[in-house]
Amino acid sequence: MIDVENLTRVFGDVTAVDGITFHVNEGEIFGFLGPNGAGKTTTVRMLSCLISKTSGEAHIADYDVSNDSDSLKIRKIIGLVPDNVGLYEELSAYRNLDFYGKLYECPEQRRKENIERLLRMLELWDKRDVKVGTFSKGMKQKLAVIRALIHDPEILFLDEPTVNLDPESSKIVRDFILELKEEKKTIFLNTHNLDEAQRLCDKIGILNTKLRAIGTPEELEESVWGKKTVIQLEQVNKVILKALDKLSLGKIVHNNNKLTIDVVNPELDNPNIVNAIVGAGGHVQYVTELSPTLEDAYLKFVRKS
């Protein structure tokens, strides 16, 4: 659905996006994580045909972003929630949405149905006749999400969609995004919110001008240090450590009667580890898994860059 190869954008002497390559499948939620200035918004603007690329290739549903006739077709099948909502503040919420629906040549009846359905889903229907200039930042952000969906696009680009929202409103938008996924929409999400990326994304790219890593949240987490088992014992002694050495395990760290052991397959390795400890006279108090987080992965790849 989205194919990018060696995509680059240069502004004067500054390379904002440097040779990134990735693929987003139809119906997938793909997330970009990265610090400010990493190139996330620039990438979305190129894919949305708002700015041109310097080099490389990018296709949206087999349309070339650098082809003028294709760019018009791309704009018809995508929705965009930009980092700046850009609504008409003197118009009501309903008139804003109706105006943009007309720009997308959405038929009147379908336009009315979509406006009501989406306003109700994001809990703004009661505010439909209120001027947008009186809205809070969070309400404007939700309205921008609705605007991007008026014409029922196949692909949705979201640039920090929950940045101005309180926790309750953020949950409403996240749940809404998951509903869109159930409708088989393809979603490209820029976010600084690691928890949001963890909950929503099928795949995540960590961007800092270059694409530093890409994978599922689980794959990125495991890339930090793999799998580790933590075992708290009543007491660790040489007999227990010698018994564990016979199992050909990974690195074993001993600290205050706690063992942290690198394992390949916890389901297979942990029973053998516990049996060896008990057989050596050890008393196990608890066994747990030490798991890296998405934050650990993010910091690893951003700092490395």
Cα distances from 249 to residues 129, 276, 281, in angstroms, run 66, 12, 19
Instruction: Give the whole-angstrom CA distance, residue 132 versus residue 129.
Output: 9
Task: Delimit the domains of the chain by residue range.
Answer: 2-215, 225-291
Structure confidence at residue 269 (pLDDT):
92
Radius of gyration (Cα) for the chain, nearest Å?
Answer: 25
Look at residue 209 in the predicted model and tell me its pLDDT.
95
Domain 225-291 coded CATH 1.10.3720.10: no
pLDDT at 52: 95
pLDDT at 305: 63
Going from the first residue of the chain to its last (305 residues), give the mean pLDDT of each consecutive group of 10, the final group possibly shorter: 96 96 96 93 96 96 93 93 89 96 93 95 94 92 93 94 85 90 94 91 96 94 86 94 91 92 90 95 93 89 81
The pLDDT of residue 16: 96
Structure tokens given for 255: 């600290």
Helical pair 217-225 and 294-304, crossing angle rounded to 10 deg: 70
Residue 206: helix, strand or coil by DSSP? strand
Tokens encoding 82: 């930009």
Class of domain 2-215: alpha beta
pTM (predicted TM-score)? 0.83
d(CA 254, CA 258): 6
- Going by their DSSP bridges, the two strands 2-11 and 203-208 should be labelled as unpaired
What is the distance between the alpha carbons of residues 22 and 7, in angstroms, rounded to a whole number? 9
List C-alpha distances in Å: 24 to 29, 40, 242, 243: 8, 15, 49, 48
